[in-house]
């Protein structure tokens, strides 16, 4: 996973990463919940999986306290780790064509779509081999915690991983396809033509009706025929739940992404 610029590294003497380990920790962080995954890269198996949903949206301090509580509660999080990746999942981001991206103008990309505080730190992901950059606001207190814990770790935005993963699996078929990834109360929608991005946006939702409204609205705006265009769902969705069923009610070609661990938040 090429993540661009967001790798935080302490001096080697303070680095707690164990390069002899085969374990990689992925942590997804949002104001609505957390997920932890430890994967044995050599055996290609998951050793630990924990998803924590919040009953209501939390503030950054509460989120950090939940992370600390998880570390105190689950011994698996004390395992020696070769790599740590923190994924920030929020709507405080903007997708920028790489041809127009300038590192010294980060706040300008967000000021019209997000309410920034004077204390907000703006970061960016600029994946190699792709024509987009993601500018976003990570939770600085969370990054500081992992910096103190591990010394060296990588952080990035969830939309970067979603888009990069989707485009890497795209073929040369230039028909428009829609991809929707459902998180806890947030959904990202990507429309592609081959390996080109036609649309990407993020929405808050509470019910299946909210979900299908956004899907059909995007389809209408892009003149996609519900009888013919392909919709692929991933994340917090299964064939048995109401989100898949309502999508299938209005759209003929609906499928679920084939994942090695379905119905979880992990995206790496």
Structure confidence at residue 211 (pLDDT): 97
Domain count, the chain: 2
Domain shared by 247 and 125, yes or no: no
CB of 88 closer than 8 Å to CB of 158: yes
Asked which of 124, 142, 162 is the last residue of a domain, the reply is: 162
Q: Which helix (H) or strand (E) holds 245?
A: helix 242-250
Whether 125 is covered by a domain: the verdict is: yes
User: What is the spatial distance between Cα 215 and Cα 220, in angstroms, rounded to a whole number?
Assistant: 9
Residue 12 binned pLDDT confidence (cut-offs 50, 70, 90): very low
CB of 166 closer than 8 Å to CB of 190: yes
Whether 265 is covered by a domain: the verdict is: no
Domain shared by 97 and 203, yes or no: no
Domain shared by 184 and 145, yes or no: no
CB of 170 closer than 8 Å to CB of 204: no
Whether 264 is covered by a domain: the verdict is: no
Whether 198 is covered by a domain: the verdict is: yes
Instruction: Tell me how far CA of residue 156 lies from CA of 6, 55, 122, 124, 188, in angstroms.
Output: 6, 25, 12, 8, 16
What is the three-class DSSP state of 147? Answer: helix
Q: Where are the beta strands (DSSP E) in the chain?
A: 7-8, 23-30, 33-40, 45-53, 83-88, 93-97, 123-125, 132-136, 153-157, 176-182, 186-193, 196-204, 230-235, 253-256
Mean pLDDT computed over 206-222: 97
Domain shared by 118 and 250, yes or no: no
CB of 14 closer than 8 Å to CB of 151: yes
Asked which of 138, 162, 186 is the last residue of a domain, the reply is: 162
Residue 117 binned pLDDT confidence (cut-offs 50, 70, 90): confident
Two tokens, residue 59? 């503030």
Task: Give the residue numbers spanning the domain of 76.
Answer: 7-162
Structure confidence at residue 7 (pLDDT): 67
Domain shared by 131 and 245, yes or no: no
Residue 5 binned pLDDT confidence (cut-offs 50, 70, 90): low
Domain shared by 218 and 101, yes or no: no
Two tokens, residue 254? 């609906």
User: What is the spatial distance between Cα 54 and Cα 34, in angstroms, rounded to a whole number?
Assistant: 8
CB of 177 closer than 8 Å to CB of 228: no
For residue 251, give the CATH number of its domain: 3.30.420.260
Taking the CB of residue 26, how many other CB atoms lie within 10 A of it? 22
Domain shared by 154 and 181, yes or no: no
What is the three-class DSSP state of 132? Answer: strand
Domain shared by 119 and 195, yes or no: no
Residue 265 binned pLDDT confidence (cut-offs 50, 70, 90): very low
Asked which of 143, 162, 181 is the last residue of a domain, the reply is: 162
User: What is the spatial distance between Cα 204 and Cα 183, in angstroms, rounded to a whole number?
Assistant: 9
Domain shared by 138 and 112, yes or no: yes
Domain shared by 57 and 87, yes or no: yes
Whether 2 is covered by a domain: the verdict is: no
CB of 51 closer than 8 Å to CB of 70: no
User: What is the spatial distance between Cα 55 and Cα 20, in angstroms, rounded to a whole number?
Assistant: 39
What is the three-class DSSP state of 24? Answer: strand
Whether 268 is covered by a domain: the verdict is: no
- Residue 213, φ and ψ in degrees, nearest 5: -60, -45
Structure confidence at residue 111 (pLDDT): 85
Domain shared by 128 and 251, yes or no: no
67-104 pLDDT, tens digit per residue, is 999 999 999 999 999 999 999 999 999 999 999 999 99
Q: Tokens 């759209």 sit at which residue?
A: 251
Whether 261 is covered by a domain: the verdict is: no
Domain shared by 11 and 110, yes or no: yes
- Percent of the chain at pLDDT > 70 equals 90
For residue 146, give the CATH number of its domain: 3.30.420.250
Whether 263 is covered by a domain: the verdict is: no
């Amino acid at each position: 996973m090429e993540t661009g610029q967001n790798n935080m590294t302490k001096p080697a003497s303070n680095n707690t990463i164990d390069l002899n380990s085969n374990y990689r920790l992925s942590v997804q962080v949002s104001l609505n919940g957390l997920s932890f995954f430890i994967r044995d890269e050599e055996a290609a198996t998951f050793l630990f999986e924990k998803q924590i949903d919040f009953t209501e949206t939390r503030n950054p301090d509460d989120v950090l306290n939940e992370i600390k509580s998880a570390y105190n509660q689950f011994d698996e999080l004390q395992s020696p780790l070769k790599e740590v990746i923190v994924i920030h999942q929020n709507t405080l981001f903007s997708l920028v064509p790489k041809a127009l991206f300038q590192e010294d103008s980060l706040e300008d990309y967000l000021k019209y779509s997000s309410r920034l505080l004077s204390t907000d730190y703006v970061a960016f992901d600029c994946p190699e081999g792709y024509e987009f950059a993601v500018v976003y606001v990570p939770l600085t207190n969370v990054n500081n915690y992992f910096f103190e814990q591990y010394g060296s770790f990588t952080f990035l935005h969830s939309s970067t991983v979603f888009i990069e993963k989707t485009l890497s699996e795209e073929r040369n078929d230039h028909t428009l396809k829609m991809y929707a990834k459902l998180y806890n109360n947030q959904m990202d929608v990507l429309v592609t033509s081959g390996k080109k991005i036609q649309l990407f946006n993020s929405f808050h939702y509470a019910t299946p009706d909210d979900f299908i409204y956004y899907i059909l609205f995007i389809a209408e705006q892009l003149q996609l025929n519900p009888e013919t265009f392909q919709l692929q769902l991933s994340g917090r969705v299964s064939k048995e739940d109401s989100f898949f069923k309502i999508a299938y009610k209005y759209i003929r070609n609906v499928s679920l992404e084939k994942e090695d661990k379905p119905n979880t938040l992990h995206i790496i």
